[in-house]
């Protein structure tokens, strides 16, 4: 027969070891209970993890520790402490206030009649209820083991849910610039949760988005990672791996297979293109089932396919942007303006849009569409476009038609960039006070894209030489634009420009005439 737990033999808490620990909160107002509980469980081991004990001697202290140790797996909770129902109030606090549904609550009481078992379990979401007099060392071992298994499964399900949520969220916007990062992170989290682990993962590839120079050297570059690899994005894989890991990685790369080690693996990700990619996961179980190995194999193929699909979409968007630039440059070259004018305006628009508070997607859209602002000039005669002096009345009326001409060329497109370009082409000469053209729109009647491009276009035009003027100094341009605050330009946008002058001037340096 097992000896009863509660003796006077003290025991130091078990120290945390490298494999990690399961955290157990002991809540009891009797120090002896803490001592004998630690003694009875001193050699406890589950999935290569020992127990780490945290002690509280009152209900009030327990509530603080619950907040500080939200990752605790189990709480051994006394009912009667400073009050007859202190433990029950702690249980209520855990579930209702701390919103912690993961931790397993084992209620222990020396006075069972004080809190009827059935009512307590139903009313307070208790996972187990034990009388101190019945808790032998073996029974305590059993209840801790079963509780840890439940906790492990709950955490695994929660991680799986979080991973799936990330995947779904990323899938809604899979073609945005950074969605591959959140997609890969989410899928890795999904896989590790399915394997019953939650340690580290990393994905590296030779295909680096929007960086052709690095694509050529065929080095594996970290694209996404968790744990120790979270800060390794953009680094060469050989610089972040240990010697032993690098050897295993090279083997997987050479054999184009999955290499399993004691507690980690490298999976080669197959591809229909000439790109090498590698998946690393650590903390894997020592004995993987055939199902788990098959899951890893499928995942290593699918994650590469998803990544390359996004790369292809990125290439399509880059091609579309290049065509927009080249069309706009062709129009600009008919006049005295240089091709870099549209690039400068595009980047200035992006700075203004972000400073104005537009979303990332909107800021990107105005950057991509703004080069189309003067596309209507393709229908303006060269004699008017390149006239060095001031235009007369009739010539000016012809020049103003470029807004409607540009709108006519771009309207009715189902493409977001072209559709935004149509609005910009028509409205970038409207003025905040209603004195602009072609329709005399006023204030917020003017689309925000039109208001932004108007300011960016004027700023760049004033700062550079034209057939009818020399470049203006920075101070003269700033003074001129601020003098038209509330008349030509939206006041808020002028304030954004004033705040972002350094960034805007860097754009002018990057794209000189």
CATH at residue 78: 3.40.50.2300
Tell me the C-alpha distance between 22 and 16, whole Å.
9
| 226 in any annotated domain | yes
Q: Rounded to 10 degrees, what is the CA torsion of 146, 152, 153, 155? A: 140
Classify residue 201: in a domain, yes or no: yes
pLDDT of residue 307: 67
CB half-sphere exposure, 200, CA atoms < 13 A? 16
Q: Which of 120, 153, 186 is the last residue of a domain?
A: 153
Cis? peptide before 502, omega within 30° of 0: no
Q: What is the 3-state secondary structure (H, E, C) of 3-22?
A: CECCCCCCCCCCCCCCCCEE
Looking at the structure, tell me whether residues 287 and 365 fall in a common domain.
no
Do 198 and 303 share a domain, yes or no? yes
d(CA 226, CA 224): 7
- What tokens were used for 41? 């469980």
Composition of the chain by helix, strand, coil, percent to 5: 55, 10, 35
Checking 123-127 for CB contacts under 8 A at 24+ apart, the result is 124/88, 124/91, 124/92, 124/95, 125/91, 125/95, 125/101, 126/91
Buried b (16+ CB within 10 A) or exposed e, 351-369: bbbbbbebeeebbbbbbbb
pLDDT tens digit sequence for 244-301? 999 999 999 888 888 988 888 898 876 665 567 888 888 777 777 676 777 777 777 6
Q: Provide the pLDDT for residue 176.
A: 45
Residues of the chain with pLDDT under 50: 1-18, 170-171, 173-178, 208-216
Q: How many CB atoms lie within 10 A of CB 289?
A: 10
Does 360 share its domain with 485? Answer: yes
The verdict on 27 and 114 lying in the same domain is yes
Structural domain includes residue 319: no
For the chain, how many residues are written? Answer: 513
Asked if residue 274 lies in contact with residue 151, where contact means CB atoms within 8 angstroms, the answer is no
- Are residue 477 and residue 338 in the same domain, yes or no? yes
Asked if the structure places residue 106 within a domain, the reply is yes
Instruction: Give a yes or no: residue 386 inside a domain.
Output: yes
Q: Can you tell me the distance from the alpha carbon of 314 to that of 209, in angstroms, rounded to the nearest whole number? A: 8
Q: How far is C-alpha 72 from the geometric centre of its chain's CA atoms?
A: 27
Q: Is residue 358 located within the same domain as residue 298?
A: no
Overall domain count for the chain = 3
Which DSSP category does 95 fall into?
I
Residues annotated as catalytic are 377
CA pair distance 256, 234, nearest whole angstrom: 23
Domain that holds residue 37: 21-153
- Residue 431 CB partners (closer than 8 Å, separation 6+): 442, 454, 487, 488, 489
Residue 299's CATH number: 3.30.450.40
Side by side, the strands of the sheet bearing 104-109 are 50-56, 21-27, 74-78, 104-109, 128-131
Residues 360 and 301 in one domain: no
Per DSSP, the three-state class of 234 is coil
Q: Is residue 327 in a domain?
A: no
What whole-number distance in Å separates Cα of residue 406 and Cα of residue 412?
Answer: 12
Q: Residue 222: CB partners within 8 Å, gap ≥ 6?
A: 202, 203, 204, 229, 232, 233, 234, 235, 236, 237, 240
Are residues 338 and 474 both part of a single domain? Answer: yes
CATH number of the domain where residue 390 is located: 1.10.3210.10
Number of H helices, E strands in the chain: 20, 10
Question: Do 169 and 182 form a contact (C-beta atoms < 8 A)?
Answer: yes
Is residue 168 a part of any domain in this protein?
no
């Amino acid at each position: 027969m097992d000896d009863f737990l509660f003796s006077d033999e003290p025991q130091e808490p078990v120290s945390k070891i490298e494999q990690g620990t399961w955290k157990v909160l002991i809540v009891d107002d009797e120090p002896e209970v803490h001592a004998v509980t630690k003694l009875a469980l001193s050699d406890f081991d589950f999935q290569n993890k020992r127990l780490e004990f945290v002690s509280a001697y009152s209900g009030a202290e327990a509530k603080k520790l619950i907040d500080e140790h939200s990752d605790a797996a189990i709480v051994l909770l006394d009912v009667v402490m400073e009050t007859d129902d202190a433990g029950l109030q702690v249980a209520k606090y855990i579930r209702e206030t701390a919103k912690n549904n993961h931790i397993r609550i084992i209620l222990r009481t020396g006075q069972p009649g004080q809190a009827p078992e059935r009512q307590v379990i139903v009313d307070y979401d208790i996972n187990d209820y034990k009388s101190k007099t019945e808790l032998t060392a073996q029974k305590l071992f059993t209840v801790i083991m079963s509780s840890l298994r439940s906790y492990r499964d709950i955490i695994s399900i929660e991680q799986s849910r979080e991973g799936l949520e990330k995947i779904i969220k990323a899938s809604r916007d899979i073609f945005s610039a950074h969605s591959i990062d959140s997609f890969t992170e989410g899928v890795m989290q999904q896989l590790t949760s399915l394997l019953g682990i939650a340690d580290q993962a990393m994905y590296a590839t030779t295909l680096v988005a929007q960086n052709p120079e690095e694509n050529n050297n065929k080095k594996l570059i970290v694209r996404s990672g968790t744990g120790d690899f979270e800060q390794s994005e953009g680094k060469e894989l050989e610089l972040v791996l240990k010697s032993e890991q690098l050897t295993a990685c090279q083997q997987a790369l050479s054999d184009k297979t999955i290499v399993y080690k004691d507690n980690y693996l490298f999976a080669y990700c197959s591809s229909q293109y000439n790109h090498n990619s590698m998946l690393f996961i650590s903390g894997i179980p020592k004995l993987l089932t055939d199902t788990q190995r098959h899951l890893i194999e499928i995942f290593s193929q699918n994650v590469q396919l998803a990544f390359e699909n996004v790369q292809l979409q990125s290439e399509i968007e880059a091609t579309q942007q290049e065509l927009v630039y080249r069309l706009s440059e062709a129009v600009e070259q008919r006049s005295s303006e240089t091709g870099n004018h549209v690039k400068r305006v595009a980047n200035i628009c992006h700075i203004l849009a972000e400073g104005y508070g537009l979303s990332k997607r909107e800021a990107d859209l105005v950057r991509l569409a703004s080069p189309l602002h003067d596309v209507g000039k393709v229908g303006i005669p060269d004699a008017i476009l390149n006239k060095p002096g001031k235009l007369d009345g009739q010539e000016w009326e012809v020049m103003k038609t470029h807004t409607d001409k540009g709108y006519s060329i771009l309207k009715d497109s189902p493409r977001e960039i072209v559709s935004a370009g149509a609005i910009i082409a028509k409205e970038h000469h409207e003025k905040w006070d209603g004195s602009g053209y072609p329709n005399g729109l006023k204030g917020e009647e003017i689309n925000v894209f039109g208001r932004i491009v108007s300011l960016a276009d004027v700023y760049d035009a004033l700062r550079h030489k034209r057939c009818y003027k020399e470049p203006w100094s920075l101070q003269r341009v700033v003074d001129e634009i601020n003098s038209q605050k509330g008349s030509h330009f939206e006041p808020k946008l002028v304030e954004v420009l004033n705040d972002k002058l350094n960034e805007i001037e860097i754009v002018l340096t990057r794209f000189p005439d």
